[in-house]
Amino acid sequence: MTRTFLLLDCDYLCHLAFFSLGKEMRKRPGDSDTAVIFGFFNYVLSYMERFGTCDAVFCWDQRPYLRKKLFPLYKSKSELEKASMEQQYKQIGSQRQLLRDRLVYQVGFHKNFSFSGYEADDIIAVVSKMLEPNDVIMVSADEDLYQLLSERVSMYKPRQHKLYTMQHLWHEYGIPPSEWPEVKAMAGCVSDTIPGIPSVGPITAAKYLRGKLETHTKAYQRIIASKDIVKRNRELVTLPFPGMPEIHLRGDKVTEEKWQSLCDEFKLNSLRNQVPIPARFRRKSLYG
């Protein structure tokens, strides 16, 4: 019998926790020190409940990114954006590090990974293949992960509360997941500051790949003339980035005692009765 695994983009979940669930907590003296920790575990528990599983793989970014060696402007921001992000990073960073380096392990989750120079996406790409033939749900907002979609791999978008599948990708762009890196190579990625071909977005790029873009259009001519851009970007957006360390998946040892200890330490009283152990969950259909 196959199982359902959650592959968690943990840096994204920390930011999501800080800017949503942690918002009210930051207004109360003392609570700001645990806002990200509370929000992070609250989100993880809600996804486990939604999909009927406590099998989770925790995937983290770790700077400095190796992709910057290929393209120094990768994930580079303006000075104003950089100042704002650094302030946010200071507020989130200590709790994020505590989660990554101690608390996830302390609770008993042993599938917790970060590797110097690599991003959560790279880890997700490797682990999603390792978990065949189980069902996999990637929890993230990063569209680069579309390339990993398959009949058994879906992507849950927390802000939209939407499970995105390869059928959604086909309906939206008319291409299979294997062609998504080529779309991103042509269109670029604003969030990662990867410049694409001017005036060529994902829809136009997908149209070109389907052979539906008229050869006389400016967009077609730009694509044909931009092979160097596409070649550079293809290396940046294809998952995983080369050289990923070997990953070993271990069984978890989450217990009620460990969970209660976490709740006591950080006063997570509302999470106290939500112990993430198999007995709490029943198997659900991904689409039910």
pLDDT for 211 equals 97
pLDDT for 87 equals 62
pLDDT for 287 equals 41
- Does residue 278 belong to any structural domain of this protein? no
Domain identity same for 102 and 210: no
The first and second tokens of residue 215, run together, are: 């050869």
Domain identity same for 113 and 191: no
- Does residue 97 belong to any structural domain of this protein? yes
Domain identity same for 50 and 128: yes
Model pLDDT for residues 214-260, shown as the tens digit of each residue:
999 999 999 999 999 999 999 999 999 999 999 999 999 999 999 99
Domain identity same for 261 and 141: yes
User: What percentage of the chain reaches a pLDDT higher than 70?
Assistant: 89
Task: Find the Cα–Cα–Cα–Cα dihedral 207, 150, 6, 172, rounded to 10°.
Answer: 30
Model pLDDT for residues 83-98, shown as the tens digit of each residue:
555 666 677 889 999 9
Domain identity same for 133 and 65: yes
Arithmetic mean of pLDDT, 38-50:
96
- Does residue 136 belong to any structural domain of this protein? yes
Domain identity same for 48 and 127: yes
pLDDT for 285 equals 45
pTM of the model: 0.93
Report the CATH number that the domain containing residue 179 is assigned in CATH. 1.10.150.20
- Does residue 281 belong to any structural domain of this protein? no
Domain identity same for 35 and 141: yes
Model pLDDT for residues 131-165, shown as the tens digit of each residue:
999 999 999 999 999 999 999 999 999 999 999 99
Model pLDDT for residues 4-28, shown as the tens digit of each residue:
999 999 999 999 998 886 555 555 4
Domain identity same for 205 and 261: no
Domain identity same for 225 and 251: no
* pLDDT higher than threshold 80 for residue 35: yes
Domain identity same for 116 and 208: no
Number of domains in the chain: 2
Domain identity same for 160 and 179: no
Report the CATH number that the domain containing residue 73 is assigned in CATH. 3.40.50.1010
pLDDT for 281 equals 78
- Does residue 280 belong to any structural domain of this protein? no
* pLDDT higher than threshold 70 for residue 78: no
Segments forming the whole domain that contains residue 133:
4-164+247-272
- Does residue 229 belong to any structural domain of this protein? yes
Domain identity same for 153 and 214: no
- Does residue 33 belong to any structural domain of this protein? yes
- Does residue 287 belong to any structural domain of this protein? no
Arithmetic mean of pLDDT, 34-59:
96
* pLDDT higher than threshold 80 for residue 33: no
